[in-house]
Amino acid sequence: MSPAGRRRGCVSWRGRLRLLRALLGAALWVGCASGCAGTDGALGSVSSADATPGAAADGGALDATTPDGGPGDARAPDAGAGQAGPFADKVGSFTPGKGAGWGQDKMPAVVLGGPEGKGSTSGSLHVVSLGCGGSLVLELTDTVLVDGPGVDLIVFENPFPGWLELAEVAVSQDGVDWHTWPCAKDDKDGGYPGCAGVKPVLANSANGVDPTDPDAAGGDAFDLNALGVAEARYVRVTDLATQACDPPSAGFDLDAIAVVNGKPAP
Ligand SMILES: [Ca+2]
Ligand SMILES: [Ca+2]
């Protein structure tokens, strides 16, 4: 928005969005759009998409479809996208498997930031379904994994009693050379050691449970020491097709990862 536009009485496009959200004023936006057209055409065309419910270009306060706008962005942060901290910062790649679909409209933000667990008896819907055999690579850009005492990484799915969709987890320092924790996907009596998707997720953004505390957060814990890996910047989760591949939520449902032992990225 140009200063000239402001002098003519039009607020900035971000200001318009704030007004829009504060007042639920779709009508207000239409009025401003027509009044401001010509002073701010490009931005107006972006913003006008916001006037269509469900087709928001930039999401808004509760939307998680796109990352935050960075420093100075007036929008409320979405699900951790871009925030510094011990969670995934980027999706490196996503190869959906058969029966995937759930959560893809909220990618990548839905798998960035912390977990949104629903406790010991129910599964979160704040996930993306990998589909049978699907695979997703997460990248850590600010806090990378290191092999510290005990558990270094927690992977959060949405299991609940009687329903597990297991995945194997691998890490890499360069995104090329991978090291995989063997997942004993048939070892029910042993509790499926080495697999993700076993333990319910207790931590969420509202309950104050520390998502980096392996004793409190829930989720499945991994120790780099078991792989002989000192550091890792990438985490890959691959569904093992342990349930039927019915769309749209087949396969492992990834909520988040958390770095337990980390250090600032080099
Ligand atoms: Ca360790
Ligand atoms: Ca699941």
Domain range spanning residue 140?
78-266
Q: What is the DSSP letter of 34?
A: H
Q: What is the pLDDT of residues 112-152, one digit of tens each?
A: 999 999 999 999 999 999 999 999 999 999 999 999 999 99
pLDDT given at position 85: 86
Q: Ligand 1 mean position to 1 CA, how many Å?
A: 50
Residue 65 lies in a domain: no
Question: How many domains does the chain contain in total?
Answer: 2
Q: Ligand 1 mean position to 231 CA, how many Å?
A: 10
Burial (CB count <10 Å: 0-12, 13-18, 19+), residue 28: middle
Does 222 lie in the same domain as 112?
yes
Residue 57 lies in a domain: no
Q: What is the pLDDT of residues 158-195, one digit of tens each?
A: 999 999 999 999 999 999 999 999 999 999 999 999 99
CA atoms within 13 A on the CB side of 127: 26
Q: Which ligand places an atom closest to the C-alpha of 163?
A: 2
Residue 200 lies in a domain: yes
- Provide CB contacts within 8 A for 117, sequence distance 6+: 124, 156, 158, 200, 201, 202, 203, 204, 209, 217, 218, 219, 255
Q: Which ligand places an atom closest to the C-alpha of 130?
A: 2
Q: What is the DSSP letter of 222?
A: E
Does 218 lie in the same domain as 117?
yes
Does 123 lie in the same domain as 198?
yes
- Provide CB contacts within 8 A for 263, sequence distance 6+: 143, 144, 146, 231
Q: Which ligand places an atom closest to the C-alpha of 148?
A: 1
Q: Ligand 2 mean position to 123 CA, how many Å?
A: 7
